[in-house]
A and B are shown apart, each in its own frame.
Chain A
């Protein structure tokens, strides 16, 4: 009996001793302080090393050493100014540029370009057909565009990895649906790869037609769900010439286009302006999945050969006559926010019945929050590869902006104030126009902005690398990690390297080009203050005492329950 009591007392004493003093009740601690003074100094745990994590932990501030990673070399020669089949294509100063052959085919029409250009463009011969010049002003007025529907980062019965992959930022591959130009051949870049081919991407292409054109758009539904085409804001009849539904709205106009089927929509718009197009089937889901694009109606001018498709939106490399009259450059800026919890549903199952149930009944958009914020289909840092607005002093730049996202956005520019000239495709009265540095865009709203590079202290404060972004806090993050989201910049050519990467003067971009950073594994200031704000290593002393304490408590529990008693 005496030995039993000895074990009890020993264990209880050891437990008491092991109990970490920093967790004693405050009263006990203060009493002890009165008797013995404060506890001895015990250094806090050292900073955890990043173990070189891609070598970025010690990367010096912006030195351009990793420019090859930030800015892949333009091996296909897409960036240079060039003339293809008589189409003069402006240079793209940024790293990534649209395929100039696709641009040439979209300007001349896939039925009018040389066989060589057509085949380099990847488009089918009927992707953008241009017919007669009806008003005799030197440009075609019969336009027939064919769009397909493609799924990016979808699921597979064979793999847990996404298929037809498209990353909006390092390691971020949300499930997406896009309207796509009609391209010959495979959806991926080659036979060993699951990466989507170059021109298959978010956002759906910006479409450009001329006021008064007789336009037909055939939706070839190559996707496994029903879809339609709705021409938001563009002048179109509720029914077409044949009396068929033409508004793309299942509940009022027509039965949706089923998988494997096609339908042609018609319009002859009477007004110019920046409009929008999107799918109208279960629109609360399909529109935010990416089935939306800019729809630009240009003023009717002589010899107005338009770039009918602007793949990935962005810089317009072949501009309309009206744009060339008034501006030095033009950009299509398509903003779209995405809900991670929606996009991942297309990967959870392969059976379309299960996907449909998951997306249209189990997903509740009224409980949704947006996680990714894209500009022209990418988020920071990839926006710096392809969505910079590169402009020289005194240039006049036209920006056509749409907010395709679910929430409003507060578009803000550093270093400049712009002027809203058109709202939802309608010019604002001169008297109502004034310079602004924040413009609110409701969901589906379009604004045309005049960006003046005249250094007058208001419209521009001079050359630099000036950010423009949604000023709402979530908009500058990738799923809550900043910098991310739709951050891009207005850059003076002086601040741009040959490769197209901006000569920034701040911190290194190396961490932002790692997947780990956006997986929330890297301390945000690690690259330029290594160790200072890192994660601390665990306190082994405290952990040791805790384990001894628990060991003693375990023994005591065994004694209490009689577990140690011999049978």
Chain B
């Protein structure tokens, strides 16, 4: 059941090694408080399944470069009723075959992620491109989007972060229709009713029914009276 996880962990290791094994190794031998913090800040996050040159099927060449900086944190949900976490933009629209470079800036003091799902698995293991930034840190990663018009899910996969606001969509070309519950873009599939109290609502419903009943009768009378005898 954890085979996939181990695979990913190995991939993560490869990336870490590429980022600089020296950082880890030096921290291991150095107990100095300052170096200690330095190492942590050096680490700062992970980019998984980066792809700067391998072309998706149907792409003759990279159609163009798109660079975007996405900020994440509570700040970006502060003005949105009923959400806790947010991103500076929840939709990213790019032409097919674009090379997209995302700089993900985490403004909170906890981890956040920017993950795209459903990409072709022959280029992106598990169909996923993933940036993770520790609190107060940022990471940049690049990937190339496929040739088809399609809408992909972007989210943070920490428990409840997607549900509480960190849900976005990547629209390639004309896309394939909005996903549900994308912050500021589409409605929740399951939406609470937000009605006034049960008694008050029942009273309003009863009043509306009574008004309809009485009103219809009154209108009918008037209508009958108007009819020529």
- Residues of A at the B interface (CB closer than 8 Å) are 72, 75-76, 111-113, 115-116, 118-120, 122, 124-126, 129, 131-132, 140, 142, 148, 150-152, 154-160, 163-164, 182, 184-191, 196-198, 200, 220-224, 258-262, 349-354
- B28:A220 contact, CB within 8 angstroms: no
- List residues of B (96-123) whose CB comes within 8 Å of A's CBs: 108-111, 113, 115, 117
- Tell which of B109, B159, B161 touches A220, judged by Cβ atoms closer than 8 Å: B109
- Tell which of A113, A187, A259, A350 touches B159, judged by Cβ atoms closer than 8 Å: A187
* Also in contact, A191 and B110, with CB within 8 A (given A151-B159, A184-B46): no
Separation in Å of the A217 CB from the closest CB of chain B?
A: 14
- Tell which of A131, A150, A223, A349 touches B36, judged by Cβ atoms closer than 8 Å: A131
Bound-state CA distance A118–B27 (Å) is 13
Separation in Å of the A254 CB from the closest CB of chain B?
A: 15
Q: How large is the interface on B (under 10, 10 to 19, 20 to 34, 35 or more residues)?
A: 35 or more
Separation in Å of the B163 CB from the closest CB of chain A?
A: 5
- Tell which of B33, B83, B127 touches A191, judged by Cβ atoms closer than 8 Å: B127
- Tell which of A142, A191, A350 touches B117, judged by Cβ atoms closer than 8 Å: A191
Bound-state CA distance A125–B114 (Å) is 20
Nearest-CB residue, chain A, relative to B180:
A158
What 1/0 mask marks residues of chain B from 155 to 180 whose CB sits below 8 Å from any chain A CB? 00111110110000000000000001
Separation in Å of the B50 CB from the closest CB of chain A?
A: 15
Does B188 count as interface, using CB distance less than 8 angstroms?
Answer: yes
Chain B residues with CB under 8 Å of A124's CB are: 43, 111, 134
- B6:A120 contact, CB within 8 angstroms: yes
- A189:B2 contact, CB within 8 angstroms: yes
Which residue, A75, A115, A158, A184, has most C-beta atoms of chain B within 10 A?
A: A184
- B39:A154 contact, CB within 8 angstroms: no
Does B128 count as interface, using CB distance less than 8 angstroms?
Answer: yes
Chain A residues with CB under 8 Å of B135's CB are: 220, 262
* Also in contact, A261 and B189, with CB within 8 A (given A76-B6, A131-B31, A151-B159): no
Which residue, B28, B117, B181, B189, has most C-beta atoms of chain A within 10 A?
A: B28
* Also in contact, A151 and B160, with CB within 8 A (given A191-B126, A260-B73, A350-B192): yes
Separation in Å of the A564 CB from the closest CB of chain B?
A: 31
Interface of A: prevailing SS: loop
Total residue contacts A-B, CB cutoff 8 A: 172
- A125:B110 contact, CB within 8 angstroms: no
* Also in contact, A158 and B189, with CB within 8 A (given A112-B28, A220-B110): yes
- B158:A222 contact, CB within 8 angstroms: yes
Chain A residues with CB under 8 Å of B1's CB are: 72, 75, 189, 198
- B109:A262 contact, CB within 8 angstroms: yes
Does B213 count as interface, using CB distance less than 8 angstroms?
Answer: no
Nearest-CB residue, chain B, relative to A191:
B126
Separation in Å of the A97 CB from the closest CB of chain B?
A: 12
Bound-state CA distance A261–B75 (Å) is 11
Chain A residues with CB under 8 Å of B163's CB are: 154-157, 163, 350
Chain A residues with CB under 8 Å of B113's CB are: 185-186
Which residue, B25, B31, B108, has most C-beta atoms of chain A within 10 A?
A: B31
Does B200 count as interface, using CB distance less than 8 angstroms?
Answer: no
Separation in Å of the A281 CB from the closest CB of chain B?
A: 15
Does B24 count as interface, using CB distance less than 8 angstroms?
Answer: yes
- B111:A182 contact, CB within 8 angstroms: yes
* Also in contact, A157 and B191, with CB within 8 A (given A122-B5, A129-B36, A185-B8): yes
A-B contact pairs, 14 of them (CB 8 A): A119-B10, A124-B111, A158-B181, A185-B130, A186-B157, A191-B126, A198-B2, A224-B84, A224-B85, A260-B74, A262-B135, A349-B192, A350-B190, A351-B192
7 pairs of A and B residues whose beta carbons are closest in the complex: A157-B188, A260-B108, A262-B109, A260-B74, A351-B82, A224-B84, A186-B157
- A222:B161 contact, CB within 8 angstroms: yes
- A157:B5 contact, CB within 8 angstroms: no
Nearest-CB residue, chain B, relative to A156:
B163
What 1/0 mask marks residues of chain B from 1 to 33 whose CB sits below 8 Å from any chain A CB? 111111011101100110001001101100101
- B109:A261 contact, CB within 8 angstroms: yes
